[in-house]
Structures are given as structure tokens and as C-alpha cells.
Structure 1
Amino acid sequence: METLKQRILAESSVLSRDVLRMDALINHQVDPALTMEMGQEFAKRFAEENITKVITVESSGIPAAFATAYVLGVPLVFARRKKTLIADPDAYTERVPSFTKGMVTDIMVSKQFLTEEDRVLFIDDIIANGDAARGLIKIIQRSGAELVGLGVVVEKSFQAGGRTLREQGIRVEPLVRISSLDNGEIKFE
């Protein structure tokens, strides 16, 4: 997506050789038109997969996942990071580290929203090391649902997340791939 690349160059900032701040695009402020374009692109790439649900991890993955679910005409399920008073006590739970938050959290999905009849498309904002993705994939596997693939807005291909998931046979479809953030410069593949 050339538009996305240009917006990343114009509106993002490199914080370190491993961290890209995209608050103006997907992590804090969201451009609805651009987000819908992302959803349309993901829906096009996975159109033949008979998807029954789109899934993501709260919170930054929700806009792109919502747009994708909307275009596909299926429900969106998101893994919660915080337990609430009304949370389903019978939920799939996995402990995952967060690369950008620098902490470990539990993610959970209610068993009523993810079943063995589902064909699930996982959409996320960024894949770096892939820890959160692996955690949600474990939840999907435990539910018996079939993971048809992972659509990710930005893959930082210089980190191992996308590569290790592909090595496990998971289809990973990034909208853009960043090969380096060295010297404060964003380089795309």
C-alpha cells in the first residue's frame, strides 16, 4: 500500500533502531479513510478463505480489524488485556509480553466468541517479535478454531516475529514491510 508507506514516512517517528512511533496513524489517532482502505486490502487478500470471524488484541489492532470485519461482513472479536468485573470467568487466557509496553499481560477471549466452527482471520497493527501474536494464536488453537492467516499493517521484518510465524506454516500478510530503522531512517522492503 503505497499510501500507507507515504503516511508512515510523513507522520511517524523513529524512537530507536527497534521502535517506530505511529501514534498519528494507528496507535493513538486513527484516520478512518486510511483504516477502511487497510480493511479493504486485507479483505481482498483473504477473500477466498470463508472467514467467519476477525480477531485481534486490544487496543491498537482494533481499528484495522474492525474495518476488515466490516468489509468481510463478519463479527470482530478482540482479546482483552484487562479483566473486568463482568468478564467471562470461562475464558481462554494466555500470558504475553508486550514489546512496546515493556511488560507482561494476560490476554483473554471468552469461549462463547471463539469456537471450533470458526475460520478466523487475525488482524494486528504491528508485528515485531511476535509475542502477542503467538499468545493469541495459542488461544485460537485451544479453541479448536482454524486460523486462516495473519494480516498485519506493519511488519518490522528485521525482527523475528513474522519470520517465525511463517516458519510455523502461518500465512502472514503485511501491508508494508519495514526492513530497517537504523540511523533514524525508515527503510521499506
Structure 2
Amino acid sequence: MEVLKQAILDKGVILSDEVLKLDALLNHQVEPEMVMEMGREFARRFAGESITKVVTVESSGIPAAFTTALQFGVPLVFAKRKKTLTSDQENYSERVPSFTKGIVTDIMVSKAFLSKEDRVLFIDDIIANGDAARGLIRIIERAGSELVGMGVIVEKTFQKGAATIREQGIRVESLVKISGLSGGVIEFE
């Protein structure tokens, strides 16, 4: 997606050789037309997969996952990061480290929202080390749902998250691949 690459060049902020801040695009502010195009592109790439649910991890993946679910006409399920008074006690949960937050959190999905009949598409905003992604994949597996693939908005190929997921035999489709951030320059594949 050339428009996404250009937006990353225009609005992305390199914080280090490993961290790219995309608050103006994905993590704090969202450009609705661009996010709608992301959903259309993921729907195009996964057409014919008989998807019954789209899943993501709270919170930055929600806009693109929502537009993707809208394209497929299926529900969006997102893994919550915090347990509340209204949280379903019957849930799948995983403890996962967060690369950007530098903390370990729990992610959880109510057992009411994933089943053995579901064919699931996982949408994520950015994949670096892939810890949260692997945690949600374990939840999908424990639910008995079939993971048909994973759509990623930005894959940082110089970190091994997406590669480790592909090694599990999972199809990963990335809208943009970044091969480096060295010297304050965003390098695309």
C-alpha cells in the first residue's frame, strides 16, 4: 500500500533503531479513509476463506480489524488487556510481554465469543517480536477455532515476530514491511 508507506514517511517518528512511533496513523489518531482502505485490502487478500470472525488485541488493532470485519460482514472480537467487574469469568487468557510498553500484561477473550465452528482472521497493527500475537494465537487454538491467517498493517522484518508465526505454518499478510530504522531512516522492503 503505497499510500500507507507515504503516510509512514510523513507522520512516523523514529524513536530508536527498533521503535517507530505511529501515533498519528494507528496508535493515537486514526485516518478513517486510510483505515477503510486497509480493511478492503485485507478482505481482498483473504477473500474466499469463509471467515466467521475477525480478532485483534486491544487497542491499536481495533480500527483496522473493525473495517476488515465490516468488509466480511462478520463480528469483530478483541482480546481485552484488563479485567473489569463486567468481564466474563469464563475466558481464555494469556500472559504476554509488550514490546513497546515494556511490561507484561494479560490478554483475554470470553469463551462466549470463540468456538470450534469459527474460522478466524487475526488483524494486528504492528508486529515486532510477536509476543502478543503468539498469545492471541494460543487463545484461538485453545478455543478450537481455525486460524485462517493473520493480517498485519506494519511488519518490522528486522525483528523476528512475523517470521516465528510463519514458521508455525500460519499465513501472514503484511500491508507494509519495514526492514530497518537505522540512522533515522525508514527502510521499506
TM class by smaller structure: over 0.9
Is 1:91 aligned to residue 91 of structure 2? yes
Find the aligned partners of 1:28 and 1:91 in 2 and give their Cα distance: 28
Find the aligned partners of 1:52 and 1:168 in 2 and give their Cα distance: 22
Q: Secondary structure at the match of 1:81?
A: coil
**Per-residue deviation, residues 33-79 of structure 1 (Å, max 9, x unmatched):** 00000000000000110000000000000000000000110000000
1:11 corresponds to which letter in structure 2? K
Partner of 2:123: 123
Find the aligned partners of 1:48 and 1:96 in 2 and give their Cα distance: 32
The alpha-carbon deviation at position 14 of structure 1 amounts to 0.4
Partner of 1:133: 133
Partner of 1:175: 175
Find the aligned partners of 2:184 and 2:149 in 1 and give their Cα distance: 31
1:149 corresponds to which letter in structure 2? G
Q: Is there any run of 5+ residues in structure 1 with no aligned partner, and where? A: none
Find the aligned partners of 1:138 and 1:34 in 2 and give their Cα distance: 30
Normalised by the length of structure 2, the TM-score is 1.00
Partner of 2:20: 20
- Return structure 1 stretches of 4+ with deviation > 3 angstroms: none
Q: Secondary structure at the match of 2:69?
A: helix
Find the aligned partners of 1:100 and 1:82 in 2 and give their Cα distance: 17
Partner of 2:50: 50
Partner of 2:150: 150
1:150 corresponds to which letter in structure 2? M
1:108 corresponds to which letter in structure 2? M
Find the aligned partners of 2:105 and 2:43 in 1 and give their Cα distance: 29
The alpha-carbon deviation at position 11 of structure 1 amounts to 0.5
Percent identity reads 71
Partner of 1:113: 113
Find the aligned partners of 2:11 and 2:20 in 1 and give their Cα distance: 11
Partner of 2:104: 104
The count of aligned residue pairs is 189
The alpha-carbon deviation at position 3 of structure 1 amounts to 0.3
